[in-house]
């Protein structure tokens, strides 16, 4: 089935990995709903996507709020008449040592990273047609541990388990559910460690480079496409071989 006139919601799409995903899917012909926290950033991303020849709209949405998520999907269907795919990308990763971690720290990460995937997927499942796609952005932190990120690792591990279980439930409707687990990716949020931290990270990666948003976007674009029609319940690791060591 051609992607022309298909519509996808990408959460956290105003910048970073989410924006890279939105650009890749726009190039594949999808109309894009940019869901993020700031209207001006949503609008700027949507305008950039429109320049690629597709329809795009920016919608402010706190994906940890059930009411906001319901509104996002209602606005999407009202604008485009349907939804063909959902990409759960929004997430946060504040470093907090475990002995200093508060209940509020834990709850924020679990709510934004994991509860949002439930909320968005729950709404998507109501409207996706046969052949629909749900793709969530997990992390290599779902597979290996990182100090200072116990809450983040737990949330991303939850995404993997959720993906496998939901894939079983939606398979009878011919809707596939998969996840992509990025490694170290060059994004504005990941650049805080400086050049030395980047060098140390690259030294651990067999392909000897940081990943780019496009690397994740290409994997997501494949899972959203018809080429992945027989793949469901899987977590595809895109990390340059980092987790092989």
Residue 195: pLDDT over 90: no
Instruction: Tell me if residue 93 is catalytic.
Output: no
- Structural domains of the chain, with CATH: 7-238 (3.40.50.720)
The Cα 131–Cα 239 span in angstroms is 28
Q: Which of 152, 160, 179, 182 is catalytic?
A: 152
The Cα 208–Cα 219 span in angstroms is 19
Which region among 72-76, 154-158, 190-194 has the lowest average model confidence (pLDDT)? 190-194
Quick one: pLDDT band at residue 65, thresholds 50, 70, 90?
Answer: very high
Q: What is the pLDDT of residue 187?
A: 82
The Cα 103–Cα 14 span in angstroms is 29
Closest CA to 137 of 194, 211, 72, 78: 211
Q: Considering the entire predicted model, what is its pTM?
A: 0.95
Q: What is the pLDDT of residue 1?
A: 38
Residue 191: pLDDT over 60: no
- Phi, then psi, of 10 in degrees rounded to 5: -120, 115
Residue 48: pLDDT over 70: yes
What is the pLDDT of the chain when averaged over all its residues? 96
Under 8 Å between Cβ of 72 and 9:
yes
Under 8 Å between Cβ of 184 and 210:
yes
């Amino acid at each position: 089935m051609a992607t022309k006139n298909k519509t996808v919601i990408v959460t956290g799409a105003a910048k970073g990995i989410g924006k890279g995903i939105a650009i890749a899917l726009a190039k594949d012909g999808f109309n894009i709903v940019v869901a993020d926290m700031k209207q001006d950033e949503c609008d700027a991303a949507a305008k950039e996507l429109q320049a690629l020849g597709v329809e795009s709209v920016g919608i402010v949405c706190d994906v940890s709020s059930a009411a906001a998520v319901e509104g996002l999907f209602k606005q999407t269907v009202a604008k485009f008449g349907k939804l063909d795919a959902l990409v759960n990308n929004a997430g946060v990763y504040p470093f907090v040592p475990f002995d200093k971690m508060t209940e509020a720290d834990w709850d924020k990460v679990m709510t934004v990273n994991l509860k949002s995937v439930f909320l968005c997927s729950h709404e998507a499942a109501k409207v996706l047609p046969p052949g629909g796609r749900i793709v969530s952005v997990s992390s290599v932190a779902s597979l290996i541990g990182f100090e200072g990120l116990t809450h983040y690792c737990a949330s991303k591990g939850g995404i993997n388990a959720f993906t496998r279980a939901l894939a079983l439930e939606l398979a009878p409707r011919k809707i596939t559910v998969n996840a992509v687990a990025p490694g170290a990716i060059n994004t504005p949020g990941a650049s805080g460690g400086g050049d030395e931290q980047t060098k140390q990270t690259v030294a651990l990666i067999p392909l000897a480079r940081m990943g780019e948003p496009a690397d994740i976007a290409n994997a997501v674009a494949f899972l959203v496409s018809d080429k992945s029609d027989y793949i469901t319940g899987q977590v595809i690791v895109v990390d340059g071989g980092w987790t092989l060591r």
